[in-house]
Amino acid sequence: MTVAIRIAALTVALAWAAPATALDRVGAIEVAKKEAGEKCKGETPCTFTAKAEGKQWHVRVDFPKSPKAKPSHRDHAIFIIGPTGKIVGRVEGK
């Protein structure tokens, strides 16, 4: 392979890989849904709210106890998700 072809191939590969590592709101919520797991599998669905904070996402997950109950500060978790989709922090409401 010539050097020009190698450089072109590398440029295409890097241009494709960069968007794959970027995380958007929907992706951050998906990460939080996976982490919440069984807590969100009940008859009452969890509520997810995502907010960008610099290069990270803060996703609040509210865990209601019954269909009539409103979420409170004691029934939630906040997941801090880095730009690559990994959880870098977690705050549990008690």
Q: Give this prediction's pTM.
A: 0.68
| E strands in 21-75 | 47-53, 56-62
Q: In b/e form, how buried is each residue of 19-52, taking b as 16+ CB within 10 angstroms?
A: eeeebeeeebbbbbeebbeeebeeeeebebebee
Are 45 and 20 a contacting pair, CB within 8 Å?
A: no
Query: Domain map of the chain by residue range?
Result: 22-92
As a whole number of angstroms, the distance between CA 18 and CA 5 comes to 20
pLDDT digits over 21-59, tens only? 468 999 999 999 999 988 888 777 899 999 999 999 999
